Amino acid sequence: MSTRTVAIENMLEAWHAFARTTCAQHTKCSTSCPFTTVQWLALSAIKNKEVSSVTEIKKILSISSSAATQLVNELVKKGSVTKCADPDDGRTTRLALSSSAHRDLARMHSIMLKRFTKRFSVLTDREFTTYMRLQLKLIKKSKK
């Protein structure tokens, strides 16, 4: 195995560890966020206009149709999401965030921003700039 492949494997392990800790911290702050991680992802996608239907939630989260329906129904029951008929296609239901969900997401965003700012404080400004430049390059190339 090449040195680069080994380095990439180590990097993947580090990314997964970083993601696991981040998710664990998100779960610990459940008193300030009434949503599970998956609910938060779905709400963020609706807020950012990436999705507006159960079918799109299914695709973006890579979950089954029944799981997507259950997820959306739970969010509707909580009062975080509203359903309405699509004006162009009455067979389709469109999803929108409630005002309380907008407030909850803004509060969680603020909490997570503080946490990530603290995590990245170990980098100098120059290291952080380099990290961001490289990450954006990877993201840009992966979208093609």
Question: What is the total count of domains within the chain?
Answer: 2
Return the pLDDT at 30.
52
Residues 80 and 25 grouped into a single domain? no
Return the pLDDT at 91.
81
- pLDDT by 10-residue block (mean), the chain, 144 residues: 90 84 62 78 90 91 94 95 87 90 88 88 96 92 74
d(CA 10, CA 2): 13
Residues 71 and 90 grouped into a single domain? yes
Residues 19 and 40 grouped into a single domain? no
Please count the helices (runs of H) and the strands (runs of E) in the chain.
Answer: 6, 2
Residues 112 and 49 grouped into a single domain? yes
Q: In which residue are the tokens 């380099």 written? A: 130
d(CA 86, CA 67): 22
Residue whose C-alpha is closest to residue 67's, from 36, 90, 96, 94: 36
Q: Within a 10 A sphere around the Cβ of 60, how many other Cβ atoms?
A: 15
Residue 14 belongs to what domain range? Answer: 1-31
Residues 11 and 41 grouped into a single domain? no
Quick check: pTM over 0.85?
Answer: no
